[in-house]
């Protein structure tokens, strides 16, 4: 399998610090976006601990495990590390982070997800969201409630002692694109716009263009985008 990838993060126009982190490990075929939350530097700490834990655990044991097991265990370990760090340091209490990750193995991509960062799949200019947002709005719309409440995250990594991780798999095809992003991107850029930009520009240029559009439309949050193209299987 041959993949080509590029990731980029931007502070946006309204925030004082960047609480997003990402892993773009093309050699390991591992990709992660994390969007931290918490006061002061807490969100920054949470997202960094998550991405570092997931990447380091792969380097230690990832290739010896079933991909789904590795992704599940790595996020559970990240959850434990973040939770314990908050217990030890009261100034970090209540911190947490989203985690959306991709791992490519043979002809399959494995997706592991907690929170409201997103994983998209693009083929022949069409885009589909692979992950489900863990937010009140998303869950209420799925359950058929007519009056969704504010966009509050219902699941995050590190906020509680245990975490529930969504796992998905998908067969890949040459020419497919996969996009990971934080809500700072999709809150400003519509899905069809993401598909158009990603399908028409080189990966680095596409990443920069998407962040540019989000900033032009307010840049209210940190913005992270990571694009993976399947070149060969």
Mean pLDDT across the chain: 94
Whether the CB-CB separation of 12 and 35 falls below 8 Å is answered with: no
Provide the pLDDT for residue 93: 94
Return d(Cα 119, Cα 128) in angstroms, integer.
Answer: 9
Q: Give mean pLDDT, residues 8-23.
A: 97
Q: What is the pLDDT of residues 125-178, one digit of tens each?
A: 999 999 999 988 765 555 555 455 556 899 999 999 999 999 999 999 999 999
pLDDT (0 to 100) of residue 222:
98
Overall number of domains in the chain? 1
The domain of 98 spans: 2-232
pTM for the full predicted model = 0.94
Predicted pLDDT of residue 143: 54
Q: What is the pLDDT of residues 170-179, one digit of tens each?
A: 999 999 999 9
From the list 33, 196, 212, the residue with the least C-alpha distance to 130 is: 33
How large is the average pLDDT for residues 193-209?
99
- Give the bridge partners for 179, in sequence order: 120, 227
Nearest Cα neighbor of 39 from 99, 89, 105, 104 is 89
Q: 147: domain CATH number?
A: 3.60.40.10
31-89 per-position pLDDT tens digit: 999 999 987 789 999 999 999 999 999 888 767 789 999 999 999 999 999 999 999 99
Confirm if 213 and 225 have CB atoms less than 8 A apart: no
Mean pLDDT over 5-24 rounds to 98
What is the model's pLDDT at position 183? 97
* pLDDT band with cut points at 50, 70 and 90 for residue 97: very high
Q: What percent of the chain has pLDDT over 70?
A: 94
Question: Taking the alpha carbons of 141, 145, 148, 154 in that order, is the dihedral positive or negative?
Answer: negative
pLDDT confidence band for 27 (50 / 70 / 90): very high
d(CA 90, CA 128): 40
Cα separation of 109 and 158, whole Å?
25
């Amino acid at each position: 399998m041959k993949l080509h990838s590029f990731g980029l993060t931007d502070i946006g126009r309204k925030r004082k610090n960047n609480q997003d982190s990402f892993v773009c490990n093309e050699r390991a075929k591992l990709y992660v976006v994390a969007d931290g939350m918490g006061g002061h530097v807490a969100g920054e700490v949470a997202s960094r601990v998550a991405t570092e834990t997931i990447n380091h655990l792969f380097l230690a044991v990832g290739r010896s495990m079933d991909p789904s097991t590795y992704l599940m265990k790595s996020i559970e370990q990240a959850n434990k590390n973040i939770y314990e760090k908050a217990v030890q340091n009261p100034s970090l209490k209540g911190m947490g982070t989203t985690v959306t990750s991709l791992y490519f193995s043979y002809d399959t991509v494995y997706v592991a997800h907690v929170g409201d960062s997103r994983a998209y799949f693009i083929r022949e200019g069409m885009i589909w969201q692979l992950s489900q947002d863990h937010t009140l709005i998303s869950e209420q719309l799925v359950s058929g409630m007519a009056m969704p409440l504010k966009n509050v995250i219902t699941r995050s990594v590190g906020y509680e002692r245990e975490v529930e991780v969504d796992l998905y798999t998908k067969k890949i095809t040459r020419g497919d694109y996969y996009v990971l992003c934080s809500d700072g991107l999709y809150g400003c850029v519509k899905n069809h716009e993401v598909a158009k930009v990603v399908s028409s520009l080189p990966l680095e240029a596409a990443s920069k263009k998407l962040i540019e559009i989000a900033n032009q439309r307010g840049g209210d949050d940190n913005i992270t985008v990571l694009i993976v193209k399947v070149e060969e299987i």
